[in-house]
Amino acid sequence: MRWMKRLAAAVFLVASFFSAGPAAAADNYPSRPIRLLHGFAAGGAADTLSRIIADGLSKKLGQPIIVEAKPGAGGNIAADAVAKAAPDGYTIGLVTGAHAISAATYKSLSYQPAESFYMISTLVYYALVIAVRNDYPAKSLGELIAVAKQKPGSLSFGSVGFGSTHHLAGELLNAMAGIDIVHVPYRGDSQSITALLGGEVPVIVGTPVLLGPQIASGAVRGLAVTSPSRTALLPNVPTVQEAGIKDYDVRTWAGLLAPKGTAPAIIAALNTATLEALRDPELKQRLETAVGGEVGGSTPDEMKKLIETEIAKWSGVVERAKIPKI
């Protein structure tokens, strides 16, 4: 009888341990370093943003945040790795606007951009720039649109690659302005700028950070930024809406997410730490300078809604432009 009582007590203790495991883990979180994955090349915008926010989160959470780049497939390789990681809060991901675009441009993905993750918070939003070489005849976006309407299909625009936010920003302009400027993909912003300066394409869609120096030097003219309001980095460049394209709004973004199934207490801890980090003036300035944008945190639900809205928006653009899916 005594042996049976001891066995029952042991079984109870083991059962109690496993049933309380996730709660106990959440209570002690974080107790070791956290991996922060992103899906783009080292030294690029996503890598820079990851390292800045990792520094801020590390200070708030009291544990090292190790940034790991898994470039390829427009960020999909890293997103897949996060989706398949243990939902314990020790693997999180930084994604950009490309995360939602993938749902619109890929025939199938090994994960669902909105449903395979628990969102943590957005970090920063930033516009793109529609630009021409300084000696190009069109001096404004309105003049460029007029040229495109006179000769449909005769103009082309360069971007950082097929299916990028840059590419779809140009396709959205085509749709909303009733024009047909042909897309030419390049491998990154630097190549597209080189192509513009070399006369390979008359127009490109690029980032304010990389185009800013070219605009300041007089080599390139910024015709319009894609956000609803002008950017602090390029205050003299008007918006697409100022050219008469009502409701045009393209801003890419970056945010943090975790694998689906991560304990709510851990998501709450990460969200709180992120929002506190974003309120730090120095970190805020570093993030905004890195991409020429504006810091903006969110709740997990707000970030999920953003991704769902973006998926619907870009799916419509891909369908209207008859862009073949990968």
What DSSP line would sit under 285-324, residue for residue? HHHHHHHT-EE----HHHHHHHHHHHHHHHHHHHHHHTPP
Q: What is the pLDDT of residues 43-65, one digit of tens each?
A: 788 899 999 999 999 999 999 99
Within 10 angstroms of residue 42's Cβ, the number of other Cβ atoms is: 14
What residues of the chain score a pLDDT lower than 50?
1, 7, 9-18, 20, 22, 24
Helix (H) / strand (E) element for 65: namely: strand 65-69
User: How much is the pTM?
Assistant: 0.83
Two tokens, residue 191: 């190549």
Residue pair 189/202 in contact (Cβ under 8 Å)? The answer is: no
Helix (H) / strand (E) element for 184: namely: strand 182-185
Residue pair 166/251 in contact (Cβ under 8 Å)? The answer is: no
The label of the residue with tokens 């769902």 reads: 308
Residue 150 to residue 145: CA distance in whole angstroms: 9
Helices 281-291 and 208-217, axial angle in degrees (round to 10) = 70
Two tokens, residue 306: 């953003």
Please tell me the predicted confidence (pLDDT) of residue 256.
Answer: 98
Q: Terminal CA-to-CA distance of the chain, rounded, Å?
A: 67
Single-letter amino acid code for the residue at 175: A
Q: What is the DSSP letter of 110?
A: S
Residue pair 76/109 in contact (Cβ under 8 Å)? The answer is: yes
Helix (H) / strand (E) element for 10: namely: helix 2-27
Two tokens, residue 37: 């994955």
Residues 6+ apart with CB under 8 A from 112: 103
Using CB atoms within 10 A of its CB, is residue 156 exposed (0-12), middle (13-18) or buried (19+)?
Answer: middle
Please tell me the predicted confidence (pLDDT) of residue 14.
Answer: 43
Residue 79 to residue 94: CA distance in whole angstroms: 9
Please tell me the predicted confidence (pLDDT) of residue 17.
Answer: 40
Residue 156 to residue 262: CA distance in whole angstroms: 45
Please tell me the predicted confidence (pLDDT) of residue 2.
Answer: 53
Residue 238 to residue 86: CA distance in whole angstroms: 46
Q: What is the pLDDT of residues 171-218, one digit of tens each?
A: 999 999 999 999 999 887 788 999 999 999 999 999 898 899 999 999
